[in-house]
Structure formats: C-alpha cells, structure tokens
Amino acid sequence: MSDRTAPQKLLLKALAGEKTASIPIWLMRQAGRYLPEYRKVRADAGSFLDLCYNPRLAEEVTLQPIRRYGFDAAILFSDILVVPDALGQKVAFKEGEGPVLEPITDAAGLAALGPVSGVTKALAPVYETVSRLKASLPSDVTLIGFAGAPWTVATYMAGGRGSPDQAAAKLWAFRDPMGFKDLIDILVEATIEHLSAQVDAGAEVVQIFDTWAGSLPELSFERFALKPVQQICDALHERYPGLPVIAFPRGAGGMAERYFKVTGANGLGLDTGVSPAWAKQHLQPQGCVQGNLDPLLLVAGGHEMRGQASYILSVLGEGPFIFNLGHGIVPQTPPEHVAELVKHVKGWRS
C-alpha cells in the first residue's frame, strides 16, 4: 500500500478530514443499467453474477462511468450478495425480480454454510478485478472497494429476496437473538476477510453498505447494525492503519451520530432523509460526510436538481465532504443529467 500520511487525491483528502478546494464526487451505482454501454456488456456477459465474476468485463463496466464523467472515484463492480454466494448459499439474480436465495432462518441453515475461510478463495475473480483496476485507473481517481454490512446481507439471506419490511430477518433477530447473532458473527468475519482481500489487491477506500439499517429499533440497531460495523472497522484499522472506511447506515436517522462516533468509520454516507444542516452540526465535526441528493432529482434534472445540489453544497461544502446521492442511481436516469450534475458540482465554489 502507498504512503497514507499525505493524500494527494481529492477523495482521500476529504476522508482525511480536509476541506478540499473543489468537491469530490462519485455516485452510488454509477455503473449500471442507465448506461447504454453497460447494457451492452451485460447482455453479452450471461447472468449478472457471471458479469461480477468476469474480471475483464467487471473492470470494463467499472471504468465506463469514469470515462464518461471523470468521477473522482471508481467503485469496484460487484455486489453485496457475492458473500452469501461464496459461503455456499447460492444466489441467482432473476430478470425483473432481483436477487433470489434459498432462505436461511435457523441454526440448521447456518450449519449447512461453508467455512468463512473459503470466501476469499471463491471470490478470487473479484480481487483480480480490483488489481486490474488499480493498474488501469487514471492516477487521480480513487478506487473504492465495498461490502454489504452484516445486517443488510442477513436480510437477504433470511428473506431469500428483497422485501419492503425485512420481516424474516427481524423476526429471527427478535425471537432468537442469540441464534441470529451467530449469522451476524459469520458475516462479520467473512466481511473482514473480503474487504481485506480487496485492500490487498489495491482498493484505497472501502464502503460498507447498510441499506436496511433504518428498519431496526434502537436496541437491535445497536446490536446488529452498529456493533458489527464497529468490529469490521476496528479489524480493518488494525490491519491497515489509516485505511479510510465509509459507512452508509441508510435510514439510521438520529442514531447516525452515535453510529459515526462509535464505529470509528472515517466517512459517513447520508441518505436523502438526513438534513444537511443537522449533519453539518452533528456529523461533520466527527469527520467527512458523503451524500445526499435524492436519486429522483437526478432523473428530473434541470433547475430543481441544480438548486437542491447547490443547497447541499452550500451547507456541507465548508467542511470535509464528498458529493453523492442519498441512494443509488435508478435505471431510468438520463445519462446527460449525470454529466450536468458533475459539471455543476465541479464548478461550485463556496
């Protein structure tokens, strides 16, 4: 790994707590179906997981948005569900349906999983993608690796698919907290190994996606969202001192403040529901924040998109800040609106 003491790249400066001269920008799901060049590669690749496990094609789709827009960071093209897949809970992505897994809801299901030690072996193609990207990315672009947070991955493992209320995982956690914790513990360990292997291959920053953090009541949030991410941050910081970790506890609301403090994350991703003014007061003093334009403003574009982006920039651009969306780009986003947003953010001065 390179010297982390004096970062040169814009995104790394912001994550080190600096107010940067211009605001770094990347967007969650910046590679994906809104881009015609992605749809072409996707159609040729076979299944979605075939694309994730093909280093040449995964590298190509990671680079597509960098070529088009000149973002400050590239995020590895993969998925949070490669971890259950590597643990032996086979994952399929069905057209128009999203991910489908054979649900695991008890100790017998856990016992049927393979060992955590097999995860990095199974995911070797993903790390090869990271190595290739490290060699091919422009020198001013930061490479972000990622994983799902244990809680969010567990919601898919227990439910067998996406759900509006995460009921299967919540009921397991509420009825049998000790048994559910066994699943979380497996995922903590697997996630540490998966993220470490990405850093070893060349990822400079890692982001932990906790998409469903907001569905847990406070006491369960503490135990199944905050604590596992704290364990992951601690282990990564011990192995890689100075590694910037961004956590994205979507929907955490007022619990985000304690979460940011206690997990030891270096950056906090904000969803669309977080008030920038509140974040400036309660979160930014602790470190870099990232967010949080509504993805549908990017679909709408024009004056309203620019105005709301300016509002976020004017409130959070005075401190360490990375511009992003409050959640991922949606497929109906016009690619030219993304170009317009990047131009707007890059032209912004406080």
Active-site amino acid positions = 29, 33, 42, 79, 156
Measured from the CB of residue 207, what is the shortest distance to ligand CP3 in angstroms?
Answer: 8
Residue 320: what residue type? Answer: P
Restricted to residues 109-168, the positions that interact with ligand CP3 (CB under 6 A) are 146, 148, 162
188 forms bridges with which residues in the sheet? none
Alpha-carbon gap, residue 135 to 151, rounded angstroms: 33
Restricted to residues 13-42, the positions that interact with ligand CP3 (CB under 6 A) are 28-33, 42
What string marks each residue from 237 to 266 as x (binds ligand CP3 by CB under 6 A) or -? ------------------------------
Restricted to residues 217-236, the positions that interact with ligand CP3 (CB under 6 A) are none
Restricted to residues 68-107, the positions that interact with ligand CP3 (CB under 6 A) are 75, 77, 79-81, 93, 98-99
Residue 211 interacts with ligand CP3 (CB under 6 A)? yes
- Of 168 and 315, CB closest to ligand CP3: 168
Here the tokens at position 306 are: 């620019």
Residue 208 interacts with ligand CP3 (CB under 6 A)? no
Alpha-carbon gap, residue 288 to 265, rounded angstroms: 9
Measured from the CB of residue 119, what is the shortest distance to ligand CP3 in angstroms?
Answer: 17
SS3 content of the chain, % helix, strand, coil (to 5): 55, 15, 35
Alpha-carbon gap, residue 37 to 24, rounded angstroms: 24
Measured from the CB of residue 313, what is the shortest distance to ligand CP3 in angstroms?
Answer: 22
Residue from 15, 16, 45, 48 that binds ligand CP3 (CB under 6 A)?
48
Measured from the CB of residue 29, what is the shortest distance to ligand CP3 in angstroms?
Answer: 4
What contacts 302, CB < 8 A, 6 or more positions away? none
What contacts 77, CB < 8 A, 6 or more positions away? 31, 51, 52, 58, 59, 61, 62, 129
- Of 55 and 319, CB closest to ligand CP3: 55
Residue 271 interacts with ligand CP3 (CB under 6 A)? no
Here the tokens at position 205 are: 């920053």
Measured from the CB of residue 178, what is the shortest distance to ligand CP3 in angstroms?
Answer: 26
Restricted to residues 302-341, the positions that interact with ligand CP3 (CB under 6 A) are 328
Residue 65: what residue type? Answer: P
Buried/exposed 112-132: b ≥16 CB within 10 Å, e otherwise: ebeebeebbebbeebbbbbbb
Residue 220: what residue type? Answer: S
Q: Enumerate binding residues for ligand CP3 (CB under 6 A).
A: 28-33, 42, 48, 75, 77, 79-81, 93, 98-99, 146, 148, 162, 209, 211, 328
